[in-house]
Amino acid sequence: MTDTVKSIAILGGTGDLGGGLARQWSRAGYQILIGSRTLEKGQAAAKALLDEFPDLNVTGHENLEAATAADLVVLTVPFEHQLSTLETVKPGLIGKILIDVTVPLVPPKVGTVQLPESGSAAVQAQNFLGDEVQVVSAFQNVGAMHLQEDHSIECDVLVTGNKRAARDTVIELVKAVGLKGWHAGPLANAAAAEALTSVLITINRHHGVEGSGIVITGEPTK
């Protein structure tokens, strides 16, 4: 567990990816606050996890309540709900790191790269929230089904953000779920990770792969 982060709010924790991260981080010792648009949905998602894994430290909340109470916030909602969700929780994000997992998938052509005018969903989030929130992009290329199972995951995580210290914090959280995180540069570089998701979806479809991912070759020397 990091020194500065002991509790994590997962907005969109009712979905597969959010639920998987909640499970993994709770088992790593973090307090997890699952956020949803309504208190009832947040509590139902927490109860479902606890029914299956009674050892987890998970509670359900409305999004703003979860964001306000937690040390760090993770956004795992579909692209179409990104800005509307951020608008409702913005007061609770001030002074915090927001891990944005949003991928700009545009149905029905989710296997085709379609980045927004801002260049990436993460940059769009940073522009909307302003300098009082440190947006870090991560986890776009990890199959949700892997986080919901107890096995090693052969996938690395590209971590982008404008502040090195914020990326360091997120890389520690990546390690906590058993993955390797890589400093991948400023937030503008999030476009590459977001675009890769559509490429991986196409690979999954054409080759019958269950949750393909990426691995960075080479050994770091610093």
Residue 2 in this model has a pLDDT that exceeds 70: no
Instruction: Band the pLDDT of 1: cuts 50, 70, 90.
Output: low
Query: What average pLDDT does the segment 60-70 reach?
Result: 98
DSSP one-letter code for 189: G
* Residue 169, CB-side half-sphere exposure with 13 Å CA sphere: 24
pLDDT above 90 as % of the chain: 86
Question: In angstroms, what CA-CA distances link 10 with 60, 112, 119, 192, 215?
Answer: 10, 27, 24, 23, 25
> H or E stretch including 27?
helix 16-27
Query: What average pLDDT does the segment 56-84 reach?
Result: 97
- The model's pLDDT over 159-204, given as tens digits with 9 standing for 90+, comes to 999 999 999 999 999 999 999 999 999 999 999 999 999 999 999 9
Question: In angstroms, what CA-CA distances link 149 with 12, 19, 64?
Answer: 19, 11, 29
For the chain, domain boundaries: 7-207
> H or E stretch including 45?
helix 39-52
Residue 147 in this model has a pLDDT that exceeds 90: no
Q: What top-level class would CATH report for the domain 7-207? A: alpha beta
User: Whole-angstrom Cα distance, residue 139 to residue 184?
Assistant: 12
Query: What average pLDDT does the segment 16-37 reach?
Result: 94
- The model's pLDDT over 193-202, given as tens digits with 9 standing for 90+, comes to 999 999 999 9
